[in-house]
């Protein structure tokens, strides 16, 4: 995959940051397994597995943490941040 699809981690809002975190997670799977047919065959195996779904949520959370930090938590003034 040679296309540049990620030009920045900067997003205007936390919601768009979370959307980016999901995209980062999905793109990692796509780049690891570029064959769409194989990805489709694998999906039923993890779609009904609670442990796998929790692991997926963990990866999204880590990616959201990264995007949030890149965006300085969407707030430049630390005095106004929630504790």
Given this model, what pLDDT does residue 9 score?
95
Residues comprising the chain, all counted? 83
Report whether 3 contacts 31 (CB < 8 A). no
pLDDT bin (cut points 50, 70, 90) of residue 3 is confident
Given this model, what pLDDT does residue 76 score?
66
Residue 1 confidence (pLDDT) above 90: no
21-80 residue pLDDT tens: 999 999 999 999 999 999 999 999 999 999 999 999 999 999 999 999 999 988 665 555
Given this model, what pLDDT does residue 83 score?
46
- From the list 21, 9, 12, 6, the residue with the least C-alpha distance to 70 is 9
Given this model, what pLDDT does residue 53 score?
95
């Amino acid at each position: 995959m040679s296309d540049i699809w990620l030009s920045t981690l900067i997003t205007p809002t936390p919601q768009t940051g979370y959307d980016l975190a999901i995209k980062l997670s999905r793109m990692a799977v796509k780049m690891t397994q570029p064959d769409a047919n194989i990805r489709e065959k694998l999906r039923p195996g993890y779609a009904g597995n609670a442990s796998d779904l929790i692991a997926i949520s963990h990866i999204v959370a880590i990616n959201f943490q990264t995007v949030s930090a890149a965006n300085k938590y969407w707030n430049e003034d630390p005095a106004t941040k929630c504790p």
